[in-house]
Structure 1
Amino acid sequence: MTDRALPKTPVIYQIYPRSFRDTTGNGIGDLDGIILGLDHAASLGADAVWMSPFYPSPWADGGYDITDHMSIHPALGTMHDFDRLVARAHDLGLKVIIDQVFNHTSTEAPWFKLSVAGDPRYSDYYLWADPKPDGTPPNNWLSQFGPPAWTWNHKRQQYYFHNFTADQPSLNLRNEDVQAELRTIMQFWRDRGVDGFRIDAVTSLLCDPEFRDNPVASPDVRDKVSGDNFVPYTRQDHVHDILPGDGIAFVANLRDWAGDDAFLIGEVTSGNQSVELSCRLTTEGRMNAAYSTDLPESGCTAESYADILTRAPDPDRIGWWLSSHDQPRHAGKAGDGSAHDAKFLALLLAVSPGPVLIYQGEELGLTQPDLPRAAVTDPLDLLYWPDGPGREGARVPIPWEEGGNRGFTTGTPWLPMTWPEGVSTAVQHIDEGSILRFYRAAFAFRRDGLGPVELQDWSRDGDVIRLHYPKAAVVLNFGKDPVPIDTRPDFASGPVETNLPGRTAAVWLNSD
């Protein structure tokens, strides 16, 4: 029987299906395109690929508004294509992780339409509430994008709750029938060979059943709440609308539904106490790992890196990452866009003490592209245009070749591709000094040279972080000034002589 369990601290390559590779010429990436690119993921030393939603969806929020959790969007392929994808991944030694979006569905989902209609079975599938006597929403909760979290439905004469857009009504996960549906969904994909799940917005799965108002956030809490401070959501301390007292224990259900050998990693969007919650969500019988937005939103500084290590009693259960489909590309945010800086950040991830998430294209050193407003479809970017987070820019299809539409499609890509020359996979594959070649080397070193990724000790001195593993010592120089060293390292992100230059990471292996 094939071992379906992932390593404790795997390297996971995230694929955003619409932007990975198109094989039909319709300008939208598809499952066959992912199959073509699995060798690329394997060449990076990945243990698994994580695929963002490929389910039927109106794409009102990037595919995270799902109408059917057990089917394939027709623009992306068929279930047969999915089965071939899983088989090919397993042949390459890659595990398959897929998104599970259990917080909400689309308003176009049959469940929601039946709930609106008052069907006895589905009436309580979502979070409905009566208005206050004056007709206003039942409480002060805001959606994570900023607008009110309640939308009026005239047919039911009630408000429905949504953590995100009004197109994404929140499920009532306290309803046992809803729980049974989610169990069926997980078992369906497990039976098709899926090895694990990324749990979208895991901190939003439950809310206070009494719908009590959130208190005002203190300045300290406001700075920690996920999102830019100009978003009204950051003005509340979210103690009632996300992860109430029984929310942590609820995660044990996910483990039960997925099976003991499934790898579960959750997205923590709480902001306040994010690292502490991540660790509580990953104790025995819950998830394997969780990740928050602390590092990418901070710009990845020595201070923010040390803050995570300080707050995490078990940092090997924290997912380490810098870019995703929801965050602007880090090469130009946490770095200066140069190859030197991209390699520093690559090795920083490769030597971090927990699961590592690589987002498609970061291995090419891609920086955030500028998009015209007319091309943008993301609701959060449009809401605060041009000051939104830049989620759509991170979803611009990646360049496989030079010229034309860069080997992504023979048609017109769904987002304009204006990548500079020379950044494609084809070019970087043959350039020994490329960022792509360095990513491959860095994660091969993590697998074959670093030894057990079990953090024994660490320290911080200004812009310098030192990590100690059973078989290696690591120095991360986040600053611009060189740091004295006694010996040349066994592996580094750039040239090293008598000093460790600024924005350079290095590893020394134990002689024994």
Structure 2
Amino acid sequence: MLNLWYKNAVLYCLDVDSFRDSDGDGVGDFRGLADSLDHIEALGATCIWLLPFYPSPNRDNGYDITDYYNVDPRYGTLGDFVEFMQAAQDRGLRVIVDLVVNHTSIDHPWFQASRAGDPKYKDWYVWSKDKPADAESGIVFPGVQKTTWTRDAKRGEYYFHRFYKHQADLNIDNPAVREEIERIMGFWLALGVSGFRIDAVPFLIEGLTEADGSRDPHRYLSEMRQFLAWRKAEAILLAEANIPMDEADDYFGSGDRMNLIFNFPLNQRLFLSLARREAEPVKSMLKSLPDIAHVGQWATFLRNHDEIDLGRLNDEERQEVFAAFGPEKSMQLYDRGIRRRLAPMLGGDRNRLANAFALMLALPGTPVIWSGDEIGMGDNLELKERDAVRTPMQWTAGESGGFSSAARTDLVRLPPANGPYAPLHVNAESQRMVDGALLTTVEHLIRIRRACREIGWGDYEVLDLEAPSVVGLRCRWRGGEVVTLHNLSEHPATVDLTGVVEPDKVRHLIGQETDFAEDGARCVMRLGAYGFDWMRVTG
């Protein structure tokens, strides 16, 4: 029987370099991470997703890799990684790692050999003698990136880079490259990881063809999954794939491709709902989600380590979200996104933050939490591009937030120095033992979410409650039933639950500012401002 552990998992994403520094050099490391796992365990997360930690020139937060089989010396050694893995296993925590194989750093020995004409590596990258006519189209980072083809003086040809020019795209069409990718996967599986988050999946497979031009590029995803199942049956593939819903089947397959796919379209509609304080954008998106194989699962999230990508909203909708959450140009990025953390976008309102977390955890799928959001960390807009949301974890009220003993100027990235989101005001230590603090609220929500297996495993129904600000969902699985309600408005809302639940046949699991009200034969619930309620139907 398949172990579908990810169906009811809670993922916690972190960057090793900004989580905890054990040796005082200003950079987080695996020893610091291993010593801080109690926080993740207490939060209730079941799986850690590590951002890239491989050797890198670090021009793109580690996504420009020079060695897939090692650990960046700033973070420790392979031995330190193994010790961390053992510490995670001792706490019952799984670990997945980033698999970034659509490109490498131009400093990678493979690229250096390719540009030098080494016969073994000559065709490991995508080269062209002439600059293609479409070199200025398909740019991923408008305003920062100028082209997708750059001339290499040594080889005298142009190399393709879907992203920055220091990240040359691997030639996935080359069987030797695909064989090397399997070798990389096998290496980290042997060290105990439970799977991979695959970076930029649509771009990874975009160049795949067969000799007759008939190849379906998505078939490669089946090959990756087949290798994974052969090496470690319960390991998973989590796809970063910002795709329209009509392409979902291509990526999930019949259950033989991606286990999890980030639901970017739902995330964008969620922020539109939050901006409008109206339920309809989320409800309509949920109603339009396609049926997927039972072993497949969407991954839901509020924020992550990148910008909020609003590219699938129309221009008017995007401007609504900008106006609500990123009105200043310095808060926006790539003409499509917002580079802010969740807490400042929601004005630091503890009730609104709790409501947002509750809604995300109630959505069908596997929830993913970005490190620091559980305590309401802020951003540092003085940092470049996406670094604004990648500031060090704030453990204590000290100047560096307890992240490191190094001088503030030596930190890998600077946390906010002043204001309501500085470590003095926002840190894990001050919230850990306080009832009603954001951290303890999120911990409670996660415990309840893990107990509500109906949400992760079951079928869901979007409830039409005639309350414009309320998202209502009903999930059923193996005879169990859970109903969740979330009021996105700053004003109280009244919900008619007649025919949905009966007051004497529900058990309240968690909620804030809610109560049933007597209203004749009707079943009515009042939700306070940003109020929510989760109920288990008992009979």
Pairwise same-fold verdict (TM > 0.5): yes
Comparing 362-371 and 122-131, the one that deviates more: 362-371
Equivalences for 1:355-434 in 2 at 5 Å?
355-371=366-382, 376=383, 378=384, 381=385, 391-412=386-407, 413-418=411-416, 419-420=421-422, 421-434=424-437
Counterpart of 1:289 in structure 2 is: 260
Q: Decide whether aligned partners of structure 1 residues 31 and 15 sit closer, same or farther in structure 2, where only a CA change above 3 A counts.
A: same
Q: Decide whether aligned partners of structure 1 residues 209 and 180 sit closer, same or farther in structure 2, where only a CA change above 3 A counts.
A: closer
Q: Distance in 1 between matches of 2:39 and 2:272?
A: 26
How far off is 1:278 after superposition?
4.1
Equivalences for 1:92-171 in 2 at 5 Å?
92-131=91-130, 137=133, 139-146=135-142, 147-171=146-170
Q: Do residues 187 (structure 1) and 186 (structure 2) align?
A: yes
Over residues 472-496 of structure 1, what are the superposed CA-to-partner deviations in whole Å (9 max), with x where a residue is unaligned? Answer: 1111222333222465971445222
Q: For 1:268, which of 209, 226, 241 is the aligned residue?
A: 241
Q: Is the 8 A contact 1:296 1:334 kept in 2?
A: no
Q: Is the 8 A contact 1:450 1:509 kept in 2?
A: no
Counterpart of 2:224 in structure 1 is: 254
Over residues 112-149 of structure 1, what are the superposed CA-to-partner deviations in whole Å (9 max), with x where a residue is unaligned? Answer: 001101111101101112215xxx65655333113211
Q: Is the 8 A contact 1:6 1:263 kept in 2?
A: no
Greater radius of gyration (CA): 2
How far off is 1:193 after superposition?
0.6
- In the alignment, structure 1 segments of 5+ residues that lack a partner are 211-243, 382-390
SS at match of 2:120: coil
Q: Do residues 501 (structure 1) and 500 (structure 2) align?
A: no
Q: Decide whether aligned partners of structure 1 residues 417 and 140 sit closer, same or farther in structure 2, where only a CA change above 3 A counts.
A: closer
SS at match of 2:36: helix
Q: Decide whether aligned partners of structure 1 residues 292 and 148 sit closer, same or farther in structure 2, where only a CA change above 3 A counts.
A: farther
Comparing 493-502 and 402-411, the one that deviates more: 493-502
How far off is 1:282 after superposition?
1.9
Q: Distance in 2 between matches of 1:363 and 1:53?
A: 22
Q: Decide whether aligned partners of structure 1 residues 406 and 250 sit closer, same or farther in structure 2, where only a CA change above 3 A counts.
A: same
Counterpart of 1:305 in structure 2 is: 282
Q: Distance in 2 between matches of 1:269 and 1:166?
A: 22
Q: Is the 8 A contact 1:125 1:172 kept in 2?
A: yes
Q: Decide whether aligned partners of structure 1 residues 5 and 32 sit closer, same or farther in structure 2, where only a CA change above 3 A counts.
A: farther
SS at match of 1:205: helix
Counterpart of 2:316 in structure 1 is: none
Q: Do residues 445 (structure 1) and 456 (structure 2) align?
A: no
Q: Distance in 2 between matches of 1:61 and 1:105?
A: 11
Letter paired with 1:474 = T
SS at match of 2:436: coil
Q: Decide whether aligned partners of structure 1 residues 314 and 88 sit closer, same or farther in structure 2, where only a CA change above 3 A counts.
A: farther
Q: Distance in 1 between matches of 2:452 and 2:256?
A: 31
Q: Is the 8 A contact 1:279 1:318 kept in 2?
A: no
Q: Is the 8 A contact 2:16 2:51 kept in 1?
A: yes
Q: Distance in 1 between matches of 2:490 and 2:57?
A: 46
How far off is 1:317 after superposition?
1.6
How far off is 1:253 after superposition?
1.9
Q: Decide whether aligned partners of structure 1 residues 424 and 253 sit closer, same or farther in structure 2, where only a CA change above 3 A counts.
A: same
Q: Distance in 1 between matches of 2:535 and 2:286?
A: 21
Q: Decide whether aligned partners of structure 1 residues 287 and 181 sit closer, same or farther in structure 2, where only a CA change above 3 A counts.
A: same
Q: Distance in 2 between matches of 1:149 and 1:96?
A: 33
Q: Do residues 343 (structure 1) and 354 (structure 2) align?
A: yes
Counterpart of 1:218 in structure 2 is: none
Q: Distance in 2 between matches of 1:484 and 1:129?
A: 63
How far off is 1:26 after superposition?
0.9
Q: Do residues 464 (structure 1) and 470 (structure 2) align?
A: yes
Counterpart of 1:83 in structure 2 is: 82
Q: Decide whether aligned partners of structure 1 residues 294 and 288 sit closer, same or farther in structure 2, where only a CA change above 3 A counts.
A: same
Q: Is the 8 A contact 1:130 1:138 kept in 2?
A: no
Comparing 473-482 and 52-61, the one that deviates more: 473-482
Q: Is the 8 A contact 1:67 1:106 kept in 2?
A: yes
Counterpart of 2:302 in structure 1 is: 322
- In the alignment, structure 2 segments of 5+ residues that lack a partner are 274-278, 308-338, 498-502, 518-525
Letter paired with 1:74 = P
SS at match of 1:495: strand
Letter paired with 1:249 = R
Q: Decide whether aligned partners of structure 1 residues 319 and 33 sit closer, same or farther in structure 2, where only a CA change above 3 A counts.
A: same
How far off is 1:339 after superposition?
0.7
Q: Is the 8 A contact 2:8 2:450 kept in 1?
A: no
Q: For 1:480, which of 461, 485, 490 is the aligned residue?
A: 490
Q: Decide whether aligned partners of structure 1 residues 476 and 314 sit closer, same or farther in structure 2, where only a CA change above 3 A counts.
A: farther
How far off is 1:157 after superposition?
2.0
Q: Is the 8 A contact 2:26 2:412 kept in 1?
A: yes
Q: Distance in 1 between matches of 2:482 and 2:205?
A: 42
Q: Is the 8 A contact 2:205 2:218 kept in 1?
A: no
Letter paired with 1:291 = F
Letter paired with 1:287 = M
How far off is 1:345 after superposition?
1.0
Comparing 322-331 and 282-291, the one that deviates more: 322-331
Q: CA RMSD in A?
A: 2.3
Q: Decide whether aligned partners of structure 1 residues 303 and 368 sit closer, same or farther in structure 2, where only a CA change above 3 A counts.
A: farther
How far off is 1:22 after superposition?
0.5
Over residues 167-206 of structure 1, what are the superposed CA-to-partner deviations in whole Å (9 max), with x where a residue is unaligned? Answer: 1111111100000100000000011111111011111112
Q: Distance in 1 between matches of 2:251 and 2:282?
A: 20
How far off is 1:353 after superposition?
1.1
Q: Percent identity?
A: 30
Counterpart of 1:223 in structure 2 is: none
Aligned residues: 455
Letter paired with 1:503 = Y
Comparing 296-305 and 248-257, the one that deviates more: 296-305
How far off is 1:310 after superposition?
3.0
Q: Is the 8 A contact 1:28 1:76 kept in 2?
A: yes
Letter paired with 1:409 = S
Letter paired with 2:239 = G
Q: Is the 8 A contact 1:319 1:356 kept in 2?
A: yes
How far off is 1:306 after superposition?
2.8
